[in-house]
Amino acid sequence: MGGRGVARRCGTHPGRGEAPRWTPAGPVLLPGSPGPAQLRRGGAGRGGAALGSRAAALRGGVAMLRALLRRWASYRYRFVPWIALHLRRKRRTIRYVPEKSKDKIISDEDVLETLLKIFQALFINDFSRQMDFFALLPEVKSKYLKLLTIQYKRSKTTGYNHQSQNIFNPEEVLFNTLGFSITRDRSSLISAGTGVFVTKGFVPKGAVVSMYPGTVYQKYEPIFFQSIGNPFIFRCIDGVLIDGNDKGISKAVYRSCSKRDQLGPFQMSDITWLTPAVLNPLAVGQYVNNCSHKKAANVCYQEFDVPEYFPVELKQYLPNITYSHDMPIPLRCVVLVALREIKQGEELFSNYYTIIN
């Protein structure tokens, strides 16, 4: 577009002096006007170069403006004056809670029960890869051998072979355990990027449908450099932050903390959410998009502290890790709970804002 504009301008104003008059035989130059060679040099050399530099500057300015708008689109949600001005205009996209104690849709016991259920199913599906656990913790092996025996008896009529464990991918394990599966795909919202969809089955109201992965920071811990240009930072009610970015410095910090907390062969957290091959199929909650006036929220965030008695063999599926290892505090997780029944093919939408009176 810029090149064509320059060509048109050069053709209209080929050089200094009077413009040539065009005839079928060619241009007839008026007295005192420059010759054809001078016209070409003047138009392409002076006017063309000037117009080309202006077009390049214009393109650079447009690109810079677009970059600033993209940065503003992600930063404005942390700019308090903007939030205050838009609260009344965006009431449909804001979740209101009368008090802190009523923020949770389901009980912590229900959340724990769901996580244990899906994590145990994933563990059994990966049974052949858990030999390190079984060598050091024989009681864990006996526990899951009993579960395998029960599962084998239930599935005997379907031809299930308990000797071949890796026959299901994580999405299939999720569907077989909770009755639905989810995956990341292009969002149905324009310019929203990646979203999360229910690909199989349906999600009942009140079910845990996803988890928000990432490094957990207490409100006094440094997160400045990780937060620059980062739209994946989740703020809990008490000021705890979860960095769900799977790229850049955030990715490096999570990997480092995960290796720090590893106990011999025992992984204390899941790092596969940083890769395309996710081991915990619930750990895609950071890609759930904000609701809009046309797309109402069908899930909401709920904070959950992992209890101390959480089985050590199942911690390898927790997609969160604490930034500091000094203070013995419960690991904070954030789950997404269905506000209504969500059918196959629907995209998950949440409220990025929760206001507690």
> Is the separation of the CB atoms in 160 and 176 below 8 Å?
no
* DSSP letter, residue 42: I
Which residues 6+ apart lie within 8 Å of 307 measured at CB?
112, 330
| CA 151 to each of CA 22, 131, 134, 145, 157: distance values in angstroms, whole numbers, following the listed order | 90, 20, 19, 10, 11
| Tokens 């992600």 -> residue | 74
Residue percentage of the chain with pLDDT more than 70: 78
At residue 305, does pLDDT exceed 50? yes
pLDDT, residue 18, reads 40
At residue 85, does pLDDT exceed 60? yes
Q: Looking only at Cα atoms, what is the longest distance across the chain?
A: 105
- Residue 300 CA to residue 256 CA, distance in Å, equals 30
Dihedrals φ, ψ of 292, to 5°?
-135, 180
Instruction: Supply the Cα-derived Rg of the chain in whole angstroms.
Output: 30
- Residue 123 CA to residue 211 CA, distance in Å, equals 18
Structure tokens at 313: 């063999």
pLDDT, residue 8, reads 31
Q: Which residue has the higher pLDDT, 334 or 353?
A: 334
- Residue 171 CA to residue 107 CA, distance in Å, equals 25
Average pLDDT for residues 291-319, to the nearest whole number?
95
Which residues 6+ apart lie within 8 Å of 133 measured at CB?
140, 141, 265, 266, 313
